[in-house]
Amino acid sequence: MIDFTSIEQMIAGAEQAGLPLWKGIQLSDCQRQNITPEASWARMSAMLEAMTQADGGYRAGDRSRSGLTGGDGGKMSDYGQGETLCGPFLTDVMAGALRMGECNACMKRIVAAPTAGACGVLPAVLLPCRKHLGVSDEALIQALYVASGFGMVIAARASISGAEGGCQAEIGSAAAMAAPALVHLQGGAPAQMAHACAMAVKNLLGLVCDPVGGLVEVPCVKRNVIGAMDALSAAQMALAGIESRVPPDQVLDAMAEVGRSLPHTLRETGRGGLAATPFGLEYAPKSE
């Protein structure tokens, strides 16, 4: 039985049981929930299927109720038709993050991962791995277990709520879940997954939650792009053997402490940062 209160203990638990990390995470959750591994696998594959469907349901012509969101995923795909700055893989990742963030703002069906506002990060980095890296759905589902296991530790040690910990707790957490998932897909070791998670968190430490009008649109949609890019860079650093100097669990503790220190105005109240700019104030709620 894995303890989800520390990355170190989660990895040690799976190692002691002689299991790959994803399998250890799956079996421990099955035990806690009293469900079979088959039922758990079916549910996780339904999550991958729902992400894939959501991505396919994007329409560049859709607009959110506020009118602030829509069309950017289409622009990125159009740009990707020609020569791009970042190359085909990264362009697909960015387009995927924008598409999912926009689907969410336009009231389409998405998978909260870990939240609705950060729903674009995981699918943005994972789904293009089918085409660009030849990854199987089976491997992607295993990667989702890895992501969820790290997410459990982040939720237990820090936070996955913007109202509690700022955007570092939403986009930052999503990136910190996606980075070890990518390391898993590339055959990296559990210790590399831990460092990938830690580096992804560190790079977005202190990111504030300052949504214009209190809506999950500006800057949330585009922050899914930076979350995806953060996950890729952290995973690649870990795969190169680069380590977080600060031990991963201590990084999560720092994230919790930084979240608590953020002022109320920068924790999903829509009263600080971008929300408090002259542009942002035009969208501020009337009452309250």
Using N-to-C axis directions, what is the helix angle for 37-56 and 137-157, rounded to 10°? 100
Binding mask 148-187 for other proteins (x = CB under 8 A): xx-xx--xx---xx-x-------------x----------
- Only one of the segments 8-16, 111-119, 184-192, 222-230 lies at the binding site for other proteins (rule: CB under 8 A); that segment is 111-119
Q: Is 104 in the site for other proteins (CB under 8 A)?
A: yes
Please pick, from the candidates 14, 111, 197, 275, the single residue that binds other proteins as defined by CB under 8 A.
Answer: 111
Minimum separation from the CB atom of position 213 to other proteins (A):
6
CA-CA-CA-CA torsion sign (64, 99, 120, 109) = positive
Does 44 engage in binding with other proteins (CB under 8 A)?
A: yes
Q: Does 216 bind other proteins (CB under 8 A)?
A: yes
> How is residue 14 written in tokens?
């799976």
Residues 6 or more apart in contact with residue 254 via CB below 8 angstroms:
205, 246
The answer to the question of residue 91 lying near other proteins (CB under 8 A) is no
Q: Is residue 145 at the binding interface for other proteins, with CB under 8 A as the rule? A: yes
Closest CA to 10 of 130, 150, 123: 150
For other proteins (CB under 8 A), the number of binding residues is 56
Alpha carbon distances (Å) from 258 to 21, 60, 208, 224: 29, 37, 10, 21
CB of 146 closer than 8 Å to CB of 193: yes
Residue with tokens 């009118």: 67
SS3 state of residue 4: coil
Cis omega (within 30 of 0) for bond into 114: yes
Could you say whether residue 215 binds other proteins (CB under 8 A)? Answer: yes
- As a whole number of angstroms, the distance between CA 151 and CA 132 comes to 26
Report in angstroms how near the CB of residue 85 gets to other proteins at its nearest. 29
Smallest separation, CB 99 to other proteins (Å):
12
CB of 8 to other proteins, least distance (A): 19
Does 103 interact with other proteins (rule: CB under 8 A)? yes
Number of other residues whose CB lies within 10 A of the CB of residue 286: 4
Decide: is 96 part of the binding site for other proteins (CB under 8 A). no
- Cα dist from 93 to 56, 98, 190, whole Å: 14, 9, 24
Binding to other proteins (CB under 8 A) within 230-269 occurs at none
Whole-number minimum distance, CB 163 to other proteins, in Å? 7
Residue in 2, 24, 29, 178 binding other proteins, rule: CB under 8 A = 29
Q: Which is nearer to other proteins, 52 or 236 (CB)?
A: 52
**3-state SS, residue 45:** helix
Tokens encoding 196: 């990938």
List interacting residues with other proteins (CB under 8 A): 25-26, 29, 32-33, 40, 42-44, 46-47, 49-50, 64-66, 103-117, 119, 122, 144-145, 147-149, 151-152, 155-156, 160-161, 163, 177, 213-217, 270, 285-288
